[in-house]
Amino acid sequence: MSDNKSLKAELRTEDFGSAGARRLLRTKRIPAVIYGKNEPVHIILDSREFTNKMRHFSETALLKISVGKKSYECLMKDYQENLMRAEIKHVDFFEVTRGQVLRTLVSIVLKGNPVGTKEGGVLDQVMHEVEIECFPKDLPAALEADVTSLKINQSLHLKDVVIPANVKVLDDLAKTVASVKGVKAEAVAPAEEAVAVAAPAEADKDAKAKK
């Protein structure tokens, strides 16, 4: 496993609660919890290490968290952030078990430049993530949806996305993932309407001038 997907932590056995969390944050450490099949494990992360590696994490990135001599294979499920201070306040991890089916959300990434956008259309991504089921070893970082062949007013559906082997999609395959919408026709209509509205106004102005 890449070093960017590994974290070192210490076990948190005391000083719980909001006051304890604030004391940890002041010392550049982050309170965190590992949830899973057993009781939650409360841990403490090094703030610098976590923030430096966080950009490599995603909801489907398997992380190795070492706590003393024990290690946990986890997914990062959520985190709390103080935007004013640019500070991570708390992190939630979910422990996965090798050999057991995992159910999670995975991002959908669009690939390619649609034909329709070269003709004046606009690409609209309707679906950004989908729920899947697979073993941890088969967990994809993301699903790629190739939109290259989409023309104006055409759509790509979930059934058209290439799904890796051993991965099961748990959503409706008829759902639209992305589409290319035509905007030229829509832009002309308001302009024509504006002209139609302006015309009576000009006629009324001319009538008053003649009086």
Q: Which residue has the tokens 């001038």?
A: 209
Residue 146: strand pairing partners: 111
Binned at pLDDT 50, 70 and 90, residue 187 comes out as very low
Residue 122 pLDDT more than 90?
Answer: yes
Give the model's pLDDT for residue 97.
Answer: 86
Greater confidence, 200 or 95?
Answer: 95
% of residues, the chain, pLDDT over 90: 53
| Pairing label, strands 121-125, 176-182 | antiparallel
Give the model's pLDDT for residue 207.
Answer: 52
Give the model's pLDDT for residue 2.
Answer: 61
Residue 84 pLDDT more than 70?
Answer: yes
Query: What phi and psi, each to the nearest 5 degrees, are found at residue 23?
Result: -65, -40
Average of pLDDT values for 116-141?
92
Give the model's pLDDT for residue 4.
Answer: 76
CA distances from 9 to 41, 74, 79, 96 (A): 11, 13, 16, 17
d(CA 90, CA 203) in angstroms, rounded, equals 67
Q: Where are the domains of the chain?
A: 3-95, 102-178
Q: Which CATH class is domain 3-95?
A: mainly beta
Handedness of CA 39, 40, 44, 45 (dihedral sign): positive
What pTM did the predictor assign? 0.65
Greater confidence, 30 or 58?
Answer: 30
Residue 96 pLDDT more than 50?
Answer: yes
Pick the CATH number of 102-178 from 1.25.40.420, 2.170.120.20, 3.40.50.300, 3.90.1150.10: 2.170.120.20
Compute the residue count for the chain: 211
d(CA 122, CA 116) in angstroms, rounded, equals 7
Give the model's pLDDT for residue 54.
Answer: 86
- Using DSSP's 3-state secondary structure scheme, residue 84 falls into coil
Residue 79: strand pairing partners: 91
d(CA 150, CA 98) in angstroms, rounded, equals 39
Residue 18 pLDDT more than 90?
Answer: no
d(CA 178, CA 143) in angstroms, rounded, equals 13
